[in-house]
Each structure stands twice: as structure tokens, then as C-alpha cells.
Copies of this chain bind each other. A is one copy, B any other.
Amino acid sequence: MDELLIYLLRKGANVELLKTTTSKIAQETQSSQQTISRKLLELEKDQLVERTPDGILLTKKAVERLEKFYLSLKAAFENPKRKLELKGTVKSGLGEGKYYLSMNGYRNQIIEKIGFDPYLGTLNIRLLEGELWKRKLLSELKPIIISGFKDGERTFGDLYAYMAKIEQIDCAIIVPLRTHHGQEIIELISKESLRKKFSKKDGDEITVIL
């Protein structure tokens, strides 16, 4: 991770135009004006900063990159066992999961790549507020890719799957690439009905371990 990006973040260039000069940055980072000039040109070329005559602003791309970096550090400090535990509450879906899982285009791939014939229904979990940041760490893991397909007129998109466990039972987190609900909901599938297996009702707390 580029030190200069981090410096700019600390200076708040992610929220407002940072009014500064290459010499000032050089001073505060123990570097030379020339080096800062060159590095800013590189960052600009990579579309990580935008420059106007009187200031510098981090782009969305840069902020996202920094955030991913920050979250992985956070995970290292706050969850040093390297096991990702997602806590949340059971939530009713709209039965769409059942529909998608019944499509052979998805089902056959799940059997082949994940290793079980899924129960026709998903368990939706709403992550607890304090756990939400962990959701973004999923994208750092290597997904099992369930390819999309066409069925007549409808197009079904790719799904990402991540193997997980709930109380020792194998299951998988399913993330549609074009997700229809917010980042706070995750969707799980398993061989049998997780809801019945653990006799959970809406609002009950549950922990998923990856």
C-alpha cells in the first residue's frame, strides 16, 4: 500500500479537497518535493487522485483500495485466530431462493462444485451492526464460482459461493454478483433446511464460521 495514499487519507483528502503543495507534503513525509511531484503524477495516472490547481482529492477507487487494506488490518488485530465469524439474526426471505435453487442451471453446479444437493430454500441472515465490516472481507476470499446461464428469455447471473459452517454443519454463503439486497444480508444454503435443523425462528441469533 502506497505511503502517500495513506498520508492523503490521514489528511482527510477522502472527504474534502486537501489544499496543499508538493513541498508541504514533502516536508511532512520526510521526502523531497520532486519525489512527491513524481508520485502524485503516478497516482493521477492510475486514477487514484484527482488534482485541481489548489488541491488534491482521493478518488473512489483509492478510498476503496485503502478501505480494503484497513479492513484486513482490522481483521488481523480484532480476529487474530484468522477464523471469520459472522453473527446475525435469522430473517425471512421471499421464497426466491427456492425458485433459483430449483433451476438445474444452478443446482447441478452446486452439486458438482460445492458437494451437496441443496435443500430448496435459503436461510437469510441479517448481520449484526457491529459485524457488518466483516462482510467486506468476503471479497478477499477465493470464491467458488457458480456460472450464470440463460433459460429462454431470462438471464441468470453468476453466483459466488463461500464454504462455511453453522454449528459444525456444512453450508455455503451464496452471493449473487448483482445482489438484490443490501450488504447486511447474507444468504445460506445447505443439504437440509437449516431453519428446521436448528429450529430457528425469525430474529434468533446465529453464527456462521468460514
Contact = CB atoms under 8 A, between A and B. Distances in A.
Interface in A69-83: 69-70, 72-77, 80-82
A81 B15 CA distance: 8
A69 to B, nearest CB: 8
A75 B1 CA distance: 18
Contact of A73 (B15, B73, B80): B73
Given A1-B3, A3-B1, A15 B74 contact: no
A25 interface: no
A76 B69 CA distance: 13
Contacts of A74: 70, 74
A contact face: mostly helix, strand, loop, or mixed: helix
A70 B80 contact: no
Contact of A12 (B67, B72, B82): B82
A159 B1 CA distance: 36
Contacts of A3: 1
Contacts of A72: 10
Interface in A53-78: 66-67, 69-70, 72-77
A75 B6 CA distance: 12
A70 B73 contact: yes
A76 B72 CA distance: 15
* 8 A-B pairs with least C-beta separation: A15-B80, A70-B73, A9-B76, A10-B76, A12-B82, A12-B80, A70-B77, A10-B72
Given A10-B76, A66-B73, A74-B74, 13 more contacts: A6-B73, A9-B76, A9-B77, A10-B72, A10-B75, A12-B81, A12-B82, A14-B76, A14-B80, A15-B80, A15-B81, A70-B74, A73-B73
